[in-house]
Amino acid sequence: MDHLFDPLDVRGVRLRNRIFTAPMCQYSVMERDGVPTSWHLVHLGSIAAGGSSLVIAEATAIAPEGRISDRDTGIWNDEQADAWAPIAAFIAGQGAVPGIQLAHAGRKGSTWSPWGENGRDGSIPLDAGGWSTLAPSAVPYHGLATPQELDAAGIERIVGAFADAARRAVAAGFGMVEVHAAHGYLLHEFLSPASNHRTDAYGGSLENRARLLLRVVASVREAIGELPLFVRFSASEWADTGWDVDACATVAQWCADAGADLFDVSTGGNVPASIPLSPGYQVPFAARIKELTGLPVSAVGLITEPAQASEIVESGQADAVSLARELLRDPHFPLRAAHELGVDVDYWPGQYLRARWR
Ligand SMILES: Cc1cc2nc3c(=O)[nH]c(=O)nc-3n(C[C@H](O)[C@H](O)[C@H](O)COP(=O)(O)O)c2cc1C
């Protein structure tokens, strides 16, 4: 049996294999109210039918100003949670664990979505429906509007909003929560000296820069009981900023102490950088965090071939692989990978059995 198809138990929840669906923003909330739509049901549902063990819904905002664009999903109110419920139920009905990535975009919020906006990009002006963004410091991301520095009350509101969003996620039927601390969004901005210039208890030392994330992890853990909790990190900024894989491993260990179970290891997004892309280019960062901490990790980034995915798990570099674009090209990649690797899986949807390779 190929170990890619071994089940993985996380905090008592069984994942049927080691292929996760990475969170992917769809920018498809055309009503701009954060309420997920039939697009989200079909997109996530077809991937769940394709054999992934864990389907993590896109970066979903914990507050309106935490959206990347005005077409992002949210879970800051009950109407949004109610609309997520049938989506989570459908995913679970396909035998996958429905997960959700809880996010706050920080200084990278209030931007035009990347398609269907007549070529507009960058920050949405305030008089065109944009909003003031929040960040650890009033330091803009390259080319975007300058954010407001969060004050103490603002930080308390963020912690509370993550916990409330997590409670709504559980009520909506999600079986796992991921805290988004990667890609230059709010929690990553706090971690990195490139974006965090604070002089209070939330800036300066690594302990201080990690304080908000650790409070969020602890409050989400309290909100979700014994459900699995992942944290997504950017383990490198591909620049000499003071936030790197070793610092990330230290913070991952602290997050584990605060209640996190698994670390989804990505890179980049907080400072402009040229990233040397190649197949599996981020896998060494996941492997390094696993090596330094002994904690479970998933690897992501240009993992597109069954044999490649299998090798990452077989070699022990990561406990699981997380796929994004390959699952847009082929939502049923896990079923195809099982066939190509000679593994018999028992989760072909009955409706599709007549298409099964023999
Ligand atoms: C359409 C699209 C939307 C994405 N949205 C998110 C997101 O919501 N949250 C996140 O952490 N990463 C997001 N990403 C990054 C992916 O999760 C993943 O880390 C990245 O695409 C690399 O994996 P891949 O080579 O398998 O695509 C997105 C990527 C794509 C292609």
CATH of residue 202: 3.20.20.70
Could you tell me if 107 and 144 are in contact, meaning their C-beta atoms sit under 8 angstroms apart?
yes
Average pLDDT over residues 127-147: 97
- Amino acid present at 59: A
Mean pLDDT on 125-140: 97
Give distance in angstroms: CA of 24 to centre of ligand 1.
Answer: 5
For the chain, helix, strand, coil in percent to 5 are 40, 15, 45
Give per-residue pLDDT as tens, 27-46: 999 999 999 999 999 999 99
Query: What percent of the chain clears pLDDT 90, i.e. is strictly above it?
Result: 99
Tell the residue nearest (CA) to atom 2 of ligand 1.
Answer: 24
Count of domains for the chain: 1
Name which residue sits closest to atom 16 of ligand 1, judged by CA.
324
User: Does the structure show a pLDDT above 70 at 1?
Assistant: no
Rounded mean pLDDT, 6-28: 98
Specify the ligand 1 atom closest to the Cα of 59.
8
DSSP 144: S
Q: How many CB atoms lie within 10 A of CB 103?
A: 34
**What is the 151 CA–ligand 1 centroid distance (Å)?**
30
Q: What is the pLDDT of residues 238-270, one digit of tens each?
A: 999 999 999 999 999 999 999 999 999 999 999
pTM value?
Answer: 0.98
**pLDDT (tens digit per residue) in 272-323:** 999 999 999 999 999 999 999 999 999 999 999 999 999 999 999 999 999 9
User: How high is the mean pLDDT of the chain?
Assistant: 98
Q: What confidence tens digit (pLDDT) does each residue in 161-206 have?
A: 999 999 999 999 999 999 999 999 999 999 999 999 999 999 999 9
pLDDT score recorded for residue 295:
98
Measured distance CA(49)–CA(276) in Å, rounded: 33
Active site residues: 185
The DSSP code for 74 is: B
CB 84 within 8 A of CB 57: yes
Residue to mutate, 19, 20, 21, 24, ligand 1, most ligand atoms under 8 Å from C-beta: 24
- C-alpha dihedral, 113 to 114 to 120 to 124, nearest 10°: 30
Domain ranges, residue 72: 3-355
Q: Which residue has its alpha carbon closest to ligand 1 atom 14?
A: 24
Q: How confident is the model at residue 2 (pLDDT cuts 50, 70, 90)?
A: confident
Is the pLDDT at 358 greater than 90? The verdict is: no
- The token pair that represents 43 in the structure block: 């997109």
Ligand 1: residue of 25, 67, 232 to mutate (most ligand atoms within 8 A of CB) is 25
| CA distances (Å), origin 256, targets 187, 217, 249, 293, 319 | 16, 9, 10, 10, 16
323 lines ligand 1 (CB under 6 A): yes
